[in-house]
Structure 1
Amino acid sequence: MFSITSLITSLVSKGKYLHSGNHRVRQIQTSVRNSGLLLDMVKIVIPELTNAQHKGNCGCIAVVGGCQEYTGAPYFAAISALKLGSDLSHVFCTHDSATVIKSYSPELIVHPVLDHITSVSEVSKWLPRMHSLVLGPGLGRSAKILNNAQGILEEAKKENIPIVIDADGLFLVTEHPDTIKSYQKAILTPNVVEFSRLYEKMFGEQPLEDEPVVNVKTLCQALGNVTIVQKGYNDIISDGVHVLVCCGEGSPRRCGGQGDLLSGSMGTFNYWAHKAVEDGVSNKSLDVYGPTLCAAYGACLLTRQCSKLAYEKYHRSTTTSDMVEQIHPAFEFLFV
């Protein structure tokens, strides 16, 4: 059974903000009771497994990323989507990274097209089959690759596909904010540094000191109510109207790749949540917060639980591979 003492969750409605110091701590503590409602919100969008289903019912996830220098990130994102419960996971990467990524797991469908001159058209042929897109893990900052990624992002929007943007995908958005502006099926997942860069791009100044919730809400509004997850000690999630703060226990270990587990699992949750809403699934919290906040909250909570479980087992030696192994027990603990 889920232990409420293992998670402190704060809900902040429009016009109410979290501040630093004791007031912030008290406000988080007094809203612990809301965590059960949020868990129910996530649980209701998770598709039931039945023998009548066929391959693809639980999601086909596309990860756009992977270059010669960065092959682990797209793998972690894609395998996390599968381990959470999506049926198929595609990776659209550069030619020189494809064999390496494929060697990590036979489960992944790898397309070595991201550096082709016809990359956008080649990926676009697959997009109607995809239920969710994760853009950025291992993308790199080559101008050619970023240009192709921007074109793919535009095509994904035309298909009305839920999108998660992480890592160097956020660099692309910072350079070209209009690429994602007002696309409300998108979730951005910046860390503090990435958030500050995007905030400064939009407002010409650094975020307000000690006002993280205000900053996130303000940036979401400036981007046309795109959902943002500012990763950190607490994950602040907002669409510019509502705010959720995920304060799961996690662990002190900060190995590379945790953000990729988050983005891959969020891609799966993003499809599940949007599909549930489209199918008429109703829940009081889901009706208020909508599918993107639901997906973001579920993925943040899962990632923190994976980190916690892996750290309990491996302590200082914990790696993201160890966290991936914990996706199933973390899911069972939280959502079953």
Structure 2
Amino acid sequence: MLKNKTHRELLHLSKCIVQPLIPQFHKGQAGKVGVIGGCEDYTGAPFFLAHSAALVGADLSHVICEKLAAPVIKLYTPDLMIHPYLYELSNPDIEKYIDDSELHKLQSTSIEELLNSRQPKLDEIIDKRVMPKMVTLLNRMDVIIIGPGFGRDALMLKTLIRLIEEIRVLNKPIILDADALFLLSIKPSLIKNYSKAILTPNVVEFDRLAKALGIKNDLKNQELDHAVNSSLELSTKLGGVTVIRKGGQEVIAKNDQFLVNDVSGSLRRVGGQGDTLTGAIATYVNWAYNYQNKVWDSQEGKLTTDESVLLACFAACTTVRLASAKAYKQYSRSMQTSNVHEFLGQAYDELFEAETLIKL
């Protein structure tokens, strides 16, 4: 159904999966989004993700972060729910479980070695301190984003492995971003054959994944065919996951289907724009699954699950590009990611609530 459709036609189809506002809906039915990420050094990424998901239309946005990051993220806004359930090795509380000599040894061991070997002390912290709270929270989420602002700490990445495994057991949609993609380049089996997984690599992250899976990828090759073919190959080698290859244009690939989004956005490149996109993807993807589960009575379209997910990603990319264009028009070179968030609601309205589709 999606093949050879114009941007306008794809946006019209996307309206099928946009969840309407109905008086009978209760809080949470339009989306409970969980963002797992954020450490002492990186607090902005999980905020932008959760905030973007909320602005596009998710009812509830949660951030599950490292304990030292929680107070900072809480100060950004009262609109998000913050859960300080994760630990870095540098957290003072860890001294209760690991002595200084063992801690020094862990910190001097390579990430690859730590991730591919048993670490009883780290496993004990994860099993007793982290997972009991996390499992309860994960059960409440509709869609989970994992990886933003996670950092490369061994304990955090070990926790990340356990969380991905648990999310697969719960059969929840999962979006892997930032440091989760780094982890995936070391352990690709983590999401192999899990069709509800979505990857959001930028150019460098895509190249790292391609090398890990033996996919030919030339960073200097800017041809669209090359981007499409390598994205399709990455999706196939990982067993049908959705791949959103970011760049001058987004290539959205799943199994043997793909869409390309080259709607004009912003010429400005600032930290956090990718996080905004991933948050928007979470909300639209949740609506796509709600469409499939007939949460509302949709009289339009007979989209498959794969088509719904592809359209959800396309709709998110278009929304953020339009919001970015509006922010750049107003702020020019001084534009920041927070300015893009000012226009997310307006961009959504113009795309999906207006009587006629705007001309992009």
TM-score by length of 1: 0.87
Question: Is it true that 1:311 corresponds to 2:328 in the alignment?
Answer: yes
- Which residue of the partner structure matches residue 42 of structure 2? 70
- Which residue of the partner structure matches residue 329 of structure 1? 346
- Which residue of the partner structure matches residue 214 of structure 2? 203
Offset, 1:282: 7.1
SS of equivalent residue, structure 1 residue 53? coil
Offset, 1:75: 0.3
Any idea what the Cα deviations from partners look like across 1:20-59, whole Å, max 9, x if unmatched?
Answer: xxxxxxxxxxx6x622221122211121112222110111
Take 1:252 and 1:86, find their aligned partners in 2: how far apart are those partners?
28
- Which residue of the partner structure matches residue 81 of structure 2? 109
Unaligned segments of structure 1, at least 5 residues: 1-10, 14-30
- Which residue of the partner structure matches residue 6 of structure 1? none
- Which residue of the partner structure matches residue 170 of structure 1? 181
- Whether contact under 8 Å (2:217, 2:230) holds in the other structure is no
SS of equivalent residue, structure 1 residue 164? strand
Offset, 1:238: 0.4
- Whether contact under 8 Å (1:37, 1:285) holds in the other structure is no
Question: Is it true that 1:223 corresponds to 2:238 in the alignment?
Answer: yes
Offset, 1:232: 0.5
**One-letter code aligned to 1:224:** G
SS of equivalent residue, structure 2 residue 304? helix
- Whether contact under 8 Å (1:216, 1:238) holds in the other structure is yes
- Whether contact under 8 Å (1:186, 1:292) holds in the other structure is no
Q: Give % identity.
A: 40
Take 1:303 and 1:170, find their aligned partners in 2: how far apart are those partners?
21
Count matched residues.
307
Q: Superposition pairs for residues 86-235 of structure 1, below 5 Å?
A: 86-115=58-87, 117=126, 118-203=129-214, 205-207=216-218, 209=221, 210=223, 211-235=226-250
**One-letter code aligned to 1:90:** H
SS of equivalent residue, structure 1 residue 203? coil
SS of equivalent residue, structure 2 residue 345? helix
Higher alpha-carbon Rg: 2
Take 1:262 and 1:51, find their aligned partners in 2: how far apart are those partners?
28
Unaligned segments of structure 2, at least 5 residues: 88-124, 354-360
SS of equivalent residue, structure 1 residue 125? helix
**One-letter code aligned to 2:69:** S
- Which residue of the partner structure matches residue 98 of structure 2? none
- Whether contact under 8 Å (1:226, 1:240) holds in the other structure is yes
Offset, 1:288: 8.0
Offset, 1:153: 1.3
Offset, 1:291: 2.7
**One-letter code aligned to 2:259:** L
TM-score by length of 2: 0.81
**One-letter code aligned to 1:320:** T
Q: Would the alpha carbon gap of residues 204 and 185 (structure 1) be closer, same or farther in structure 2, given more than 3 Å must change?
A: closer
Take 1:232 and 1:200, find their aligned partners in 2: how far apart are those partners?
18
- Whether contact under 8 Å (1:216, 1:240) holds in the other structure is no
Any idea what the Cα deviations from partners look like across 1:247-306, whole Å, max 9, x if unmatched?
Answer: 110011001000110111111111110111121857557338423212211111111111
SS of equivalent residue, structure 1 residue 96? coil
Offset, 1:205: 4.9
Moved more, 91-100 or 297-306: 297-306
SS of equivalent residue, structure 1 residue 243? strand
Take 1:256 and 1:230, find their aligned partners in 2: how far apart are those partners?
17
Q: Would the alpha carbon gap of residues 204 and 80 (structure 1) be closer, same or farther in structure 2, given more than 3 Å must change?
A: closer
Take 1:255 and 1:166, find their aligned partners in 2: how far apart are those partners?
17
